[in-house]
Amino acid sequence: MEENNFWNDTETANKIIKETNLIKREVENIESLNKKVKNNLNMLELVTENDKDLYELIEIEYEDIQKQLENLKLETYLSGEYDHNNCILEIHAGAGGTESCDWANMLLRMYTRYCKDKGYMVEEIDKQLGEEVGIKSVMIKIVGKDAYGYLKGEKGVHRLVRISPFDSNKRRHTSFASVEVVPEINKNIEVEINENDLKIDVYRSSGAGGQSVNTTDSAVRVTHLPTGIVVTCQNERSQIQNKEKAIEILKNKLYLLEIEKQNKELGLLKEGQMSIGFGSGKRSYVMCPYTLVKDNDTGYETGDVEGVLNGNIEEFIIEGIRRQV
C-alpha cells in the first residue's frame, strides 16, 4: 500500500484495502480478548473470599469474554471465498395460491427486520405482487459485512402451517415459499453473454398507486435461454438502468453456475432447482395446532414463532453457519 504506483490499478487497490481492513479487525478483536483475559487473571490473584464485589465483577467479565470468544469462533467459520460479500436474496411463493403469496410477504418482512437489526442495508430490486395479497416473488440486495456468509444457509423451501386468515371456515393450511441466496460478485467479472441467448421483455413496473404509479414500460425481464435463468428488475428509474442491473445479476448467476461445473465443492453456493411444495423443506413454521419453528438442516428449534417472524432468526443462522463448517 505504500508503493508509489499503488493507486494505478484502482480495482486491485480497493481489494487490497478491503483485505487489509478485515485482517486488522481480526487482529484487533484477538488483542482485545487477550487483554480482557489477562486483566481477569490479574483480578483473580487479588480476590479474596470476602471480596464479593470484585468476584461479581470477575464473573461479569468472564461472561463477556465467553461471548466475545464465541463471536471470534463464528468469524473463523466465515472463511468462504464470498462470505464477506453482499448478497442477493430472492423469495418465490410456491404451492398454495393466495396463502403462499401472503407467506412470501411474511418472509420478506422477517428478513428485512433481521437485516435492520443487524445493521444491514436492504435494497429492493424487483417485486411481483400477488393477485389478491402478498407477493409472488421479490429480489432484494443486502449490503453489509459478511451478509452472504450469514444468510447463505437460508436457501431452501420454507413451510408455514397456520389457520388461514383467508378461509371463512377457519381451516388449517400449509403454505410454501422458496428462498435463494447468491453472493454479489465483483461487477467486472468476465462472463461472455451472447445477445442472441437473451430474451428481453419490458413491462410497466408495479408499485403504489396515486402519484407513485409508473406510466412507462421501465421494468425489464431478462431470460437466459440456454440455462433458463430469469432475472427481473424494476427498481431503477429507467428501462436502461433496469436492464443493466438485471444483466449484472445474470452475470453473477452465470459465473456461479460455471464455478459449480468446474468445482463440486463450490457447487454448494447454489443448489439445483427445488420443488416448491411437499417433500422439500429447509425450515417449518408451525402456528397450529402447536407453535414451533424447526430447521430441518440443523435440528435447531424454538416455540417462539412470533419472535422468529419478527426477525429473531440469529440463532438459526448461527447454527447453520456451524453446520456448514
Q: What is the pLDDT of residue 189?
A: 67
Cell of 228: 433458463
Q: What is the pLDDT of residue 33?
A: 92
Residues 184-195: tens digit of each pLDDT:
886 666 777 888
Residues 62-110: tens digit of each pLDDT:
999 998 898 888 888 888 888 988 999 999 999 778 999 999 999 999 9
Contacts of 119 (CB under 8 A, 6+ apart): 144
Vertex 281 angle, CA 134 and 272, to 5°: 95
238-251 in b/e form (b: 16+ CB < 10 A) is ebeebbebbbebbb
Q: What is the pLDDT of residue 210?
A: 41
Strands of 27-103, DSSP E: 87-93
Cell of 113: 427486520
Contacts of 127 (CB under 8 A, 6+ apart): 135, 137, 138, 139, 206, 234
Q: What is the pLDDT of residue 190?
A: 72
Cell of 68: 466475545
Return d(Cα 49, Cα 286) in angstroms, integer: 50
Residues of the chain with pLDDT under 50: 208-215, 265-267, 269-279
Which amino acid makes up residue 267?
Answer: G
Q: What is the pLDDT of residue 164?
A: 87
User: Model pTM?
Assistant: 0.74
Tell me the β-bridge partners of 163: 172
